[in-house]
Amino acid sequence: MERTFMAIKPDAVKRGLIGRIIKRIENKGYKIVAMKMLQPTLEIAEKHYAEHKGKPFYPELIKYITSGPIVAMVVEGDNVIEGTRHMMGSTVPNSAEVGTIRADFGMTKECNVVHGSDSIEAAEREIAIYFTQDELCENWKTMMELVLEAQHSDSTPFVGA
Ligand code: IDP
Ligand code: MG
């Protein structure tokens, strides 16, 4: 199963959008296997956005991502990287597809509400910046997983750990 790193960025936390964004991830059926609120330090921000170092918007980006707490998440699901990027919408909210998180909540390309990894390599790298291995909740099953398992074994769902 594929994993991605997502973050609810400081503008969205300040605007009270945490619940609405998490709800979309849960509605889709993705499994959240780690989540925490944190204030990114300069060191974390520079690691996260290392690929953008040297670009004109880089200083502004670092200032933005360190401007308040974020909600960091590891999200799991079938083809989750492509799926969450699609749900997020393109970088600039005003040209993002209507119905996506960025189109519905974002205001500017600087403050575009959410982050999501764009490749398996990026996801692995970003997850490791924000989470230690023991912060990942790996030993539980979603109700969908329990139901599917029960269907295959003829037992009752809900009892599995
Ligand atoms: P992404 O978040 O859609 O993957 P990237 O190109 O990786 O977009 O850029 C990372 C973040 O940098 C964006 O989400 C946005 O917050 C910010 N950013 C991107 N382009 C610009 C720009 O031209 N001006 C200011 N900020 C930008
Ligand atoms: Mg990116």
Q: Which residue puts its alpha carbon closest to atom 23 of ligand 1?
A: 57
**What was the pLDDT predicted at 157?**
62
**What was the pLDDT predicted at 79?**
98
**What was the pLDDT predicted at 156?**
65
**What was the pLDDT predicted at 144?**
86
Separation of alpha carbons 145 and 53, rounded Å: 41
**What was the pLDDT predicted at 153?**
85
Pocket test for ligand 1, best of 86, 91, 94 (most atoms within 8 A of CB): 91
**What was the pLDDT predicted at 159?**
59
Residues of the chain whose pLDDT is less than 70? 155-161
Boundaries of every domain in the chain? 2-135
- Asked if residue 51 has its Cβ within 6 Å of ligand 1, the reply is no
SS3 38: strand
- Kindly state the helix (H) or strand (E) to which residue 152 belongs, with its residue range: helix 143-153
**Active-site residue set:** 115
With residues binned 3-state (H G I as helix, E B as strand, rest as coil), the percentages for the chain, rounded to 5, are 45, 15, 35
CA 76 to centroid of chain Cα atoms: 10
Structure tokens at 149: 């398992």
**Alpha carbon separation from 158 to 30, 39, 120, 143, 152 (Å, rounded):** 19, 36, 32, 7, 14
Q: Could you say which architecture CATH assigns to the domain 2-135?
A: 2-Layer Sandwich (3.30)
pTM, two decimals, is: 0.94
Ligand 2 centre to CA of 147 (Å) is: 35
SS3 126: helix
Q: What angle do CA 102, 108, 111 make, to 5 degrees?
A: 75
**What was the pLDDT predicted at 161?**
54
SS3 6: strand
Q: Which ligand has the nearest atom to the CA of 56? A: 1
- Asked if residue 61 has its Cβ within 6 Å of ligand 1, the reply is yes
- Asked if residue 108 has its Cβ within 6 Å of ligand 1, the reply is no
Judge contact between 102 and 114, C-beta under 8 A.
yes
Q: Which ligand has the nearest atom to the CA of 55? A: 1
